[in-house]
């Protein structure tokens, strides 16, 4: 009967192990589901909509196959459509049955003519000028790649993309995008995009009972082995008839070793050792097989009893009704800032204004251009301070679907132990973000509370009545304080106690005036005047109904003779001499410094005052007074 139980245990173990292995092999379905689209017409761009990517549950994997370099990028669908608005492309959508289908999209960009009317179509190709050959562009195109790509916009490196990929011949991009994001696939913007596009999704085919079945089968096999050993032992003990033993005569001790060799007697201890050895030989393979099967089971072969982790509560921010999506994500802003810093570093090293203009604009570019000109004329003139290359520690993007768009950022420079605040602006969907305002934060600056990057902030109107001062009036008001001090009508609106810039400007003016009066007071005069600069203010709202506002102010120093026979000489001022192009003047000179200032402007009804957050000042130009 023991043999019957052992055999039953072996059979049950084989069934359980076989069932577990079968679940992980022959009975297991496919790992992924794939949908492909057939593209019959060539187009330089293919837009795979978020609806396609989310037509099945789970993460998505995009596969594009073609010849040469394949490019893919993803971002907000509205941004991708705006970027493609002036060109034709193929849109991949999903039909009601879940199959992918392609449709051709014509350019939709509305172009305004001189009268201000919108034509509703892309700009027409200009007609060839009189006396020129129409085939000239075709000849240039046939000459090589340079002629084909000069006027073609490349999709590589656009600041609109959240991420991008480039691979040769076959591109595989793992994704996990929501429905409001799409993928752009292209070659180089000229050649047709790859026609073989596939999207795949994982299929949940976990076998949670495969592991328990295999392990239970291994344990049942061990039980069967144990029962088999017991059966063998019982059989050996019960072998032969049981007889009553006769009295044993007294005998002398026998040398078992000698007698064993002579008579072939086997000791009981040896038999036990042999039996024990066989038992171990039988048990060890069973345990080894179970261990191997156990090691081959992944987490998908086991039931998951642990509860799903619940997100920890965090401070919630209510998005204002009707507010649009933020222009960029934090990761996107970090990548943009890295590109800006790298480009400006190269431009600073080469004093290349054209290169700097690809990533700088406004007051920042104006100050850089002046520095490059001075470095070209004055050998030991210092280069501008390098932009900090560290990642942004604060990102506040504008919540806006149109253009231009702005971003406020703060970056900490660990090398110099300083912080900088900046304003980046993108003029249109095809332009890169450019640094338009840059200033150093004061040491004890307390930044206002701003919305998270995933919510963004609206841009207050220049004449917004909801702020203590409208952004359009801020530069004029602060310039008046620099000119008139406590006598300014705006003096009480500003937190002047923490304003170190105003103190430094007043001290610098007094120092230069004292130096000038030592030698030139009898024949000339030096005056100072601050006025709003040439660049418009930029602002983004904070959570406390206020706004961070960046403005530009010009400080103009004027020196002119008061004696008609006197002249102003620039013997010891190579900077003004270089910028003005003159060594002396009988009418005098004006020297302009450009200031970039960041303020926190509280909302109407707040008990706070306008606070200066950061500032930067650079020489802008010098001219002879006409």
Burial of 556 (0-12, 13-18, 19+ CB in 10 A): middle
CB 542 within 8 A of CB 394: no
> CB count, 10 Å around CB of 17?
21
CA distances from 118 to 115, 451, 618 (A): 9, 37, 42
Residue 502 exposure: Cα atoms within 13 Å on the Cβ side: 20
pLDDT at 311: 52
Instruction: Say which residues have a Cβ less than 8 Å from residue 515's Cβ, sequence separation at least 6.
Output: none
Residues contacting residue 524 through CB under 8 Å, at least 6 positions apart? 516, 559, 560, 561, 562, 563, 566, 568, 588
Structure tokens at 472: 């359009």
Give the per-residue pLDDT at 160.
Answer: 95
Predicted local confidence at residue 231, as pLDDT: 78
CA distance 112 to 121: 9
Helix (H), strand (E) counts: the chain: 14, 19
β-strands 547-561, 589-601 pairing: antiparallel
Token digits for 272?
């036990």
Closest by CA to 349, choosing from 371, 378, 365, 366, is: 371
Give the per-residue pLDDT at 225: 85
Q: How many residues does the chain have?
A: 626
Ranges of beta strands (E only) in 107-162 are none
List average pLDDT for each run of 10 residues in the chain, which is 626 residues long. 78 80 67 78 89 88 90 95 92 85 82 42 40 38 39 86 93 90 91 88 69 79 82 74 55 54 46 44 47 51 56 59 90 96 96 97 97 95 91 94 96 85 97 97 89 96 96 98 96 94 95 88 92 97 95 97 90 93 95 98 95 97 96
The structural domains of the chain, with segments of one domain joined by +, span: 32-110+152-202, 330-624
Q: Are 500 and 493 in contact (CB under 8 A)?
A: no
Q: Within 13 A of 605's CA, how many CA atoms are on the CB side?
A: 4
Predicted local distance difference test score (pLDDT) of residue 280: 45
Which pLDDT does position 116 carry in this prediction?
Answer: 42
Contacts of 284 (CB under 8 A, 6+ apart): none
Domain with residues 32-110+152-202, CATH architecture: Sandwich (2.60)
Q: Count Cβ atoms below 10 Å from residue 588 Cβ, excluding itself.
A: 19
Record the pTM: 0.77
């Amino acid at each position: 009967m023991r043999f019957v139980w052992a055999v039953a245990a072996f059979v049950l173990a084989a069934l359980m192990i076989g069932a577990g292995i079968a679940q992980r092999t022959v009975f297991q379905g496919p790992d992924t589901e794939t949908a492909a689209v057939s593209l019959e017409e060539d187009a330089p761009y293919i837009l795979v909509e978020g609806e396609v990517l989310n037509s099945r549950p789970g993460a998505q994997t995009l596969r594009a196959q073609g010849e040469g370099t394949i490019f893919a990028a993803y971002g907000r669908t509205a941004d991708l459509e705006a970027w493609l608005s002036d060109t034709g492309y193929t849109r991949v959508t999903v039909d009601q049955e879940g199959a992918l289908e392609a449709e051709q999209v014509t350019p939709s960009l509305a172009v305004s003519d001189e009268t201000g009317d919108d034509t509703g179509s892309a700009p027409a190709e200009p007609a060839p000028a009189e006396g020129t050959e129409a085939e000239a562009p075709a000849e240039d195109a046939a000459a090589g790649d340079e002629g084909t790509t000069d006027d073609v916009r490349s999709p590589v490196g656009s600041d609109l993309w959240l991420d991008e990929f480039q691979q040769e011949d076959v591109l595989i991009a793992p994704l996990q995008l929501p429905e409001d994001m799409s993928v752009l696939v292209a070659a180089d913007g000229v050649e047709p995009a790859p026609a073989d596009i596939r999207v795949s999704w994982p299929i949940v085919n976990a076998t949670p009972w495969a592991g328990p079945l295999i392990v239970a089968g291994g344990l049942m096999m061990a039980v069967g082995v144990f029962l088999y050993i017991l059966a063998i032992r019982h059989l050996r003990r019960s072998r032969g008839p049981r007889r009553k033993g006769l009295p044993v005569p007294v005998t002398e001790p026998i040398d078992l070793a000698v007698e064993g060799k002579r008579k072939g007697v086997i000791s009981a201890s040896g038999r036990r050792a042999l039996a024990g050895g066989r038992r171990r030989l039988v048990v060890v393979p069973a345990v080894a097989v179970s261990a191997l099967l156990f090691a081959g089971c992944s987490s998908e072969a086991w039931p998951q009893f642990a509860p799903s982790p619940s997100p920890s509560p965090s401070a919630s921010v209510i998005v204002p009704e009707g507010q649009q999506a933020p222009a960029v994500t934090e990761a996107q802003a970090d990548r943009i800032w890295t590109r800006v810093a790298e480009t400006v570093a190269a431009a600073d090293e080469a004093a290349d204004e054209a290169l700097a203009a690809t990533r700088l604009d406004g007051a920042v570019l104006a100050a850089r251009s002046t520095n490059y000109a001075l470095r070209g004329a004055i050998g030991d003139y210092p280069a501008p301070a390098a932009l900090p290359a560290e990642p942004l520690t604060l990102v506040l993007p504008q919540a806006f679907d149109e253009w231009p768009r702005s971003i406020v950022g703060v970056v900490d420079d660990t090398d110099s132990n300083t912080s900088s605040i900046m304003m980046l602006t993108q003029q249109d969907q095809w332009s890169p973000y450019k640094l338009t305002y840059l200033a150093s934060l004061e040491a004890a600056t307390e930044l206002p509370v701003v919305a998270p990057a995933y919510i963004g902030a609206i841009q207050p109107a220049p004449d917004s009545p909801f702020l203590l001062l409208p952004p359009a009036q801020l530069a004029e008001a602060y310039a008046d304080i620099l000119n008139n001090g406590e006598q300014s009508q705006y003096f009480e609106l500003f937190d002047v106690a923490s304003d170190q810039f105003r103190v430094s400007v007043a001290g610098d003016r007094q120092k230069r005036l004292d130096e000038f009066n030592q030698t030139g007071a009898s024949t000339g005069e030096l005056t100072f005047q601050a006025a709003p600069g040439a660049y418009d203010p930029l602002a983004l709202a904070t959570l406390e109904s206020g706004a961070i506002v960046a403005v530009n102010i010009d400080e103009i120093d004027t020196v002119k003779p008061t004696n008609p026979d006197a002249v102003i000489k620039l013997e010891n001022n190579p900077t003004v001499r270089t910028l003005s192009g003159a060594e002396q003047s009988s009418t005098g000179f004006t020297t302009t410094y450009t200031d970039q200032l960041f303020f926190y402007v509280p909302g109407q009804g707040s008990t706070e005052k306008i606070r200066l957050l950061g500032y930067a000042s650079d020489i802008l130009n010098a001219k002879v007074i006409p």
